[in-house]
Structure 1
Amino acid sequence: MKIWRGLAAICSVVLALTGCASPATPAGTGTLTVEVAFYPFQFVVERVGGDAVSVTSLTAPGSEPHDLELTPKQVASLGTADLVVYQVGFQPAVDTAVEQAKPARVVDTASFLTMRSAGAEPSEQEGTAGTSGLDPHTWLDPTNMVTIAEHVRDALTEARPEQAATFAANTRRLVDDLNTLDGDIKADLTGCAIQPFITSHAAFGYFAARYGLTQVGIRGLEPDVEPSASRIAEVQQIARDNHVTTIFFEALVSPVVAQSVAGDLGLRTDVLDPLEGITADSRGTDYREVMRANANSLKVANQCS
């Protein structure tokens, strides 16, 4: 009996110090770890995965995602994640880290979404997001979010096949919500007396194309590249010619240029949120609420019936 108690005590100490004898987590149990590049992908993964996922965003709330730099710990986390969701060409640091870490599964939204050209916005002269010359702001069209959700569903199902029905049901609910959102925004932005809307940087090309408006960016796709004097003069003339009422800026970018343009013309300013992160200052607590707020601001500014 003494020998048995002694062995038991030794075993207990070893377990406490090392944990090596603890049984491995059985397949199909525990949460799936998912790393996402920034907020819109977090919204999708949390809705599709539900309680089965633990989601971490590489971009902290309130941080500018275009300029993201990763810590060694963040890079290492990509290698151990069950899934990584990102978009090649938007955040170079993430692209490089994914190549280095070689995650088990990735959803790269640029591999299946139709990417818009930067077009004739000032980004052609003043820098583009990434090096592709393509507009990365795909998530500002809710129909693209539907497609992203379906790919996330498939990736999570591959990782946890026994929960396929749950992921499918969650995706159907999310798709219904996104389709309702899309229809509501269309209804809000019909019969607009003013077609152009002027933004501090050209993040809303997908949104404009979806809802029949025309985006005019003071800056190009990069929010931190200062516009030239000639670009500011061009934007001011567009505002005069089209009886624009409002110059839009965003929470994560300095409003100084937008306020200057508006002040010169005697126009008001308002916020359009590119939904790269949710903060306490956001006009809503999630993707749908902020998209509705954007639509409402444009409905007022562009005098939509």
Structure 2
Amino acid sequence: MRRLLSVLLLATALAGCGDQSGQAGGDGKFSIVTAFYPLQFLSERIGGDAVSVTNLTKPGAEPHDIELTPRQVGDVAGAGLAVYVRGFQPAVDEAIGQEAKDRAFDAASVVTLLQAGAGDGHEHEEAESGQDPHVWLDPVRLATIADALAARLGEADPGNAAGYTSRALALHAELDTLNDEFARGLKTCERRELVTSHTAFAYLASRYDLHQVGITGISPEAEPSPQRLAAVAQEARGTGTTTIYFETLVSPAVAETLAREVGAKTAVLDPLEGLVDETGDYFSVMRQNLAALSAGLGCTR
């Protein structure tokens, strides 16, 4: 009897270990781990009630250089799908490579990427490929990613595939509407130079025919050289820039310094790397960005 009990206990333990594949959590929902906010947003909107989503980047945290706790690495290992942007967060790349390589969705792999720092006067070390990871700031690319994520979820969780497809179609339509709003709102502007504290906005600028001028490169923690600051100041004066944009989650000090230098004001342009106000979402923040751009660039509808 004692031997039989030992065998049963061992079998139960092994069954518990097998459940760490993440196909379903304790609530029976398909488990998704996301690297940072925009991917959490996509996963929740497409997954609906069929999924349980865990975000590795805490609200209000700057995501570029996060370090994962052992528990978070365990979340990656136990997820049915890990959703990330390769090259954006080294710690996440490492955890997924070791723990969820066959259960991962790289959002950047399904769209055409821009080269990091192309034309902005900076050299970047962001990713090995030298590509800019900030794809979510282009609603058109994000819609493509949404479609691909729905398909990947359908493969991993075929019982809910129809729901994933349906919700992705609805989200795609909303993103098309947002793209139309940006295209109309930024069509006619007095200025098209977008002076930002760091170059997170290349996809947005490319989509809507703006010229991004970054004080620093893709890394928000980088400090500009005096030469770079002088070059941006000269360009800002030459183009009549009235607004220097700084982002949430990092200090506005450099943008404020430049603004004083050229006689401009500052305004927030949110790169949506993390959600600051949890009462909002991707759409509300992007529309706030549109209003800030419209005001700063002198746009008329």
TM-score (norm 2): 0.89
Q: Is the 8 A contact 1:40 1:287 kept in 2?
A: yes
Query: CA offset at residue 148 of structure 1?
Result: 1.2
Counterparts of 1:59-208 in structure 2 under 5 Å?
A: 59-118=57-116, 119-124=118-123, 127-208=124-205
Compared with structure 1, are the counterparts of its residues 242 and 32 closer, same or farther at alpha carbon in structure 2 (3 Å cutoff)?
Answer: same
Confirm or deny that 1:303 pairs with 2:298: yes
Q: Which amino acid aligns with 1:238?
A: E
Q: 1:235 aligns with which of 225, 232, 237?
A: 232
Q: Is the 8 A contact 2:110 2:148 kept in 1?
A: no
SS at match of 1:200: strand
1:65-110 deviations in whole A, cap 9, x for unaligned? 1111111111121111001100111111111111110355211122
SS at match of 1:89: coil
Q: Which amino acid aligns with 2:34?
A: V
Query: CA offset at residue 200 of structure 1?
Result: 0.3
Counterparts of 1:285-304 in structure 2 under 5 Å?
A: 285-304=280-299
Unaligned runs of 5+ in 1: 1-10
The two structures, once aligned, show a CA RMSD in angstroms of: 2.3
Correspondence for 1:6: none
Compared with structure 1, are the counterparts of its residues 227 and 19 closer, same or farther at alpha carbon in structure 2 (3 Å cutoff)?
Answer: closer
Correspondence for 2:56: 58
Q: 2:215 aligns with which of 202, 215, 218?
A: 218
- Cα distance in 1, alignment partners of residues 42 and 229 from structure 2: 37
Query: CA offset at residue 116 of structure 1?
Result: 0.4
Spell out structure 1 runs of 4+ moving beyond 6 A. Answer: 18-22
Indicate the percent of aligned positions where both proteins have the same amino acid.
46
Aligned residue-pair number = 285
- Cα distance in 1, alignment partners of residues 109 and 235 from structure 2: 35
Query: CA offset at residue 19 of structure 1?
Result: 9.7
Query: CA offset at residue 174 of structure 1?
Result: 0.4
- Cα distance in 2, alignment partners of residues 304 and 47 from structure 1: 32
Q: Which amino acid aligns with 1:246?
A: T
Query: CA offset at residue 162 of structure 1?
Result: 2.2
Q: Is the 8 A contact 2:40 2:53 kept in 1?
A: yes
Correspondence for 2:30: 32
Unaligned runs of 5+ in 2: none
Q: Is the 8 A contact 1:81 1:104 kept in 2?
A: no
Query: CA offset at residue 122 of structure 1?
Result: 3.9
SS at match of 1:218: strand
- Cα distance in 1, alignment partners of residues 241 and 181 from structure 2: 23
Structure showing greater Rg: 1
1:175-224 deviations in whole A, cap 9, x for unaligned? 11100001011111011110101000000000000011111000011111
TM-score (norm 1): 0.88
Q: Which amino acid aligns with 1:78?
A: V
